[in-house]
Amino acid sequence: MSTGYNVHANGIRQHLLHFAGNGPTLLLIPGITSPALTWGFVAERLAEKFDVHVLDVRGRGLSEAGPLDYSLDAMAKDAVALVKAAGLGKPIVLGHSMGARTAIRAAHMSPESFAGLVMVDPPVSGPGRRAYPSAWNWYEDSILMAQKGCSGEDMKRFCPTWTDEQTALRAEWLHTCQLDAVRIAYDGFHTDDIHADLPHLALPMRLVVAGGAAVIGADDITEIQTLAPSIDVRIVEKAGHMIPWDDLEGFLAAVMDFRPVADQH
């Protein structure tokens, strides 16, 4: 069971879901079109080992939307500011995809705000790099369909491997993902250089890679390890980019034992 709450941080209303647990505090930042509630089935399991707070990223879910700044820097500043506003102490931050890029930038901006960093399949596109492998029309077409009203069955055209419950939840909530917010974030995959942030990070870090996706390859892992030599790497074999949707147990095995060094004794 989750409890929703709002905080005012970085100048906007930010909505989070709290899945209470007895372990270290974990701030979960979802990806580009994933409102917090769609991560509920994952957060429920993470709460066995962590005290989990899942963010509705600005322009998505129940957080503030409208004519806002939707840049990577703005989302990173949100993460830093809400940690203090919500009284989260010094949480581990786990980000998926866009959320992982946000977490990387936030940890560079304010390393003292976080106890550790788990980056789950962050797009490694950027200036002078290969494009992000998912085409823009996949996002646009599904959001426009959701804005008109659609069923979980309709959503299966875009998410054919998901369960009925997962596609129904996406059909219910995708319309809350503001199209221009998603477009700006998508374009930012190609213009923001997260690799430049990595050498500055001294936090305990883990990279979780979708072994069955084209987002991060072997050469990308090597480059990341060169930039951040202390990073721990886990690969969830055969899982697609939405790792928990393809292999929840594999995802949990890759993240549940993560602890900052001070908490490992």
Other C-beta atoms closer than 10 Å to the C-beta of 220 total: 18
* Residue 27 counted as domain residue: yes
* Stated pTM of the model: 0.96
Of all helices (H) and strands (E), which one includes residue 118?
Answer: strand 116-120
- Spatial contact of 32 and 4, defined as CB atoms under 8 Å apart: no
Average pLDDT on 177-186 reads 98
* Residue 172 counted as domain residue: no
pLDDT at 11: 98
| Nearest Cα to Cα of residue 51 among 7, 101, 17 | 17
**Cα-to-chain-centroid distance, residue 86:** 19
Concatenated DSSP letters of 140-188: HHHHHHHHH---HHHHTTT-TTS-HHHHHHHHHHGGGS-HHHHHHHHHH
* Identity of the amino acid at 19: F
Calculate the average pLDDT of the chain.
Answer: 96
* Residue 233 counted as domain residue: yes
pLDDT of residue 265 exceeding 80, the answer is no
CATH code: domain of residue 24: 3.40.50.1820
Structural domain for 119, as ranges = 3-130+192-259
* Residue 184 counted as domain residue: no
* Residue 154 counted as domain residue: no
* Model pLDDT for residues 47-71, shown as the tens digit of each residue: 999 999 999 999 999 999 999 999 9
* Residue 49 counted as domain residue: yes
pLDDT of residue 261 exceeding 90, the answer is no
Average pLDDT on 179-199 reads 98
Cα(176)–Cα(167) distance, rounded to whole angstroms? Answer: 15
Question: How many folded domains does the chain comprise?
Answer: 1
Cα(58)–Cα(249) distance, rounded to whole angstroms? Answer: 29
* Residue 34 counted as domain residue: yes
- For 38, the token pair is 């769609």
* Model pLDDT for residues 3-38, shown as the tens digit of each residue: 999 999 999 999 999 999 999 999 999 999 999 999
* Residue 84 counted as domain residue: yes
pLDDT at 1: 77
Cα(3)–Cα(148) distance, rounded to whole angstroms? Answer: 29
DSSP 219: H
- Spatial contact of 227 and 199, defined as CB atoms under 8 Å apart: yes
Q: Which pLDDT band, with edges at 50, 70 and 90, does 262 fall under?
A: low
Average pLDDT on 75-80 reads 98
Average pLDDT on 114-142 reads 97
